[in-house]
Structure formats: C-alpha cells, structure tokens
Amino acid sequence: MDISFGAAFMVGLLGSGHCLGMCGGLVSAFFLKLNARGPWPYLGYHTGRIAVYATIGLIAALLGSALVSTGRLGLAQGALQIVAGLIVILLGLDLLGLAPIRNAFGFAPLSWLRRQFMTATQKGPIVGSLIGGAINGLMPCSMTLAMAVKATTAPTPPEGMLLMLAFGAGTLPSMLSASLLFGKLGPALRGGLLKAAALTVIALGVSTFWQGLRYFLVMSRLVG
C-alpha cells in the first residue's frame, strides 16, 4: 500500500476522538430523529458520507492536474506539492490549536448544511440516510480538508479518490459506533487520539512539502 494511503487511513482512524467530538452528537440526534431500524440506514449513511469523500478526492486531484498542466509540468508539480504540504501542515497545527490562523473553510456554508442535514430525516430511512451521510461528508473539518489538499498532489485522479476512500475507511469505526461511544470516551483519551491524528497530518504535510521541494529543485536545474 502507498504510504500516503496508509497515512490517510491512520488519520481517519486516529481522528476518532475528533470525529466523535465534532459529529458524534449530530449523528446520534440524526438517527434518533430518523427512527432507523436494521442495518440499511446505517449502511446508507456511511456509503453516502464516504462517496462524498471519494468525489472530493477525485475533484481535488483533477484540479491539481489542471493546475500542473497550466505551466511547466515539472516545476508546477513541485510548486503544487510545496504549497499543498504547507497547507496540510497548517491544518494539522489547527487540529492541535497551534495554528497562527484558525481554519474557517468548508466545502459548503455550515448553516445550509445543518439545515439540510436535519430535514434529510423526512426523506425516509434509506434516502434520508444517504442524504444525511452525504451532507455529513461536506461538514467543515480540518482533517477532511487536509486530506483533500493532499489529494491535489495525487499522480492521477483515481489515486486522489483512493486517498480519500482510505481516509473515509479509517473514520468508519468511530462513526459507525457514534451513537454508542458518544460521551463515553474521556477527554484525556479523545485529546490523545486527536493529537496523534494531528501529528500524522503534520507528518504527511512535511513529507509532501519535502518531496515537492526536492522535485522543484531538480526540475529547476534541468529547465535552467
């Protein structure tokens, strides 16, 4: 498995405390209001959520490819990796509460997402859970945004999609058990898991930055 895929999976897995803290109550309330019975609504919810992650990864990788193709291929690719690495590092620091600027970006307006999320319960257990999961995937989250930025540097669009799928797979254990574990993980454990996830994000950002810098310097010599 590519190291980026493994790191993305670990970010999702180690981010359990963050996922439960940010979304645990929301997910629990959603399923209580949905009055879901059986496994299908839960399957639909997480299918919708992870499908959105995969779509974001695909779009991010396509955007990265488009940016690279606008300039000198090698130099542009190295520059993109440098910028993406720095952004991922900042998002990791944001998860630790150490970033100079707090992340205020999401994939859609938060007020609209919250409105659509709760009205999705009126669409029925299967359709409603699919819509709810998809909206959950668009919720503002520094971890998700960091993985999306990393996906812009993927060699191909399918690999960008797979990177986000790996991240989504890592979040499954905590999100599947959100209604059971919410409020039962102590602050110390949740804080420890969040720190581990943030450090993994930062390590991924440093790796991306270093790869981009080396590539940019090599290509500068060749072009020059």
Res. 223 pLDDT band, cuts 50 70 90: low
- Enumerate residues 6+ apart whose C-beta is below 8 A from 21: 190, 194
Nearest to 131 by CA among 41, 60, 59, 35: 41
The pLDDT, as a whole number, for residue 134 is: 92
The pLDDT, as a whole number, for residue 66 is: 80
Q: Cα(71)–Cα(97) distance, rounded to whole angstroms?
A: 36
Prediction pTM value: 0.80
**Residue 212, pLDDT above cutoff 70:** yes
Res. 21 pLDDT band, cuts 50 70 90: low
- Enumerate residues 6+ apart whose C-beta is below 8 A from 128: 34, 41, 120, 121, 122
The pLDDT, as a whole number, for residue 182 is: 47
Apex 136 CA angle, 132 and 140, nearest 5: 150
* pLDDT (tens digit per residue) in 85-111: 888 888 888 878 787 766 666 677 777
- Enumerate residues 6+ apart whose C-beta is below 8 A from 20: 174, 178, 181, 182, 185, 190
Q: Cα(10)–Cα(158) distance, rounded to whole angstroms?
A: 20
Percent of the chain with pLDDT over 70: 80
* pLDDT (tens digit per residue) in 31-88: 878 877 788 888 899 999 999 999 999 999 998 888 776 555 566 777 888 888 888 8
The pLDDT, as a whole number, for residue 165 is: 95
**Residue 124, pLDDT above cutoff 70:** yes
Taken as a whole, the chain contains a residue count of 224
**Is pLDDT larger for residue 187 or for residue 53?**
53
Long-range contacts formed by 210-214: CB under 8 A, 24+ apart: 210/85, 211/81, 211/85, 212/77, 212/78, 212/79, 212/80, 212/81, 212/82, 212/83, 212/84, 212/85, 212/153, 213/78, 213/81, 213/82, 214/78
Provide the mean pLDDT of the chain: 80
Q: Cα(131)–Cα(133) distance, rounded to whole angstroms?
A: 5
Token output for 223: 């072009």
**Residue 1, pLDDT above cutoff 60:** no
**Is pLDDT larger for residue 24 or for residue 128?**
128
The pLDDT, as a whole number, for residue 189 is: 65
- Average pLDDT on 111-131 reads 86
Domain borders along the chain are 3-33+40-223
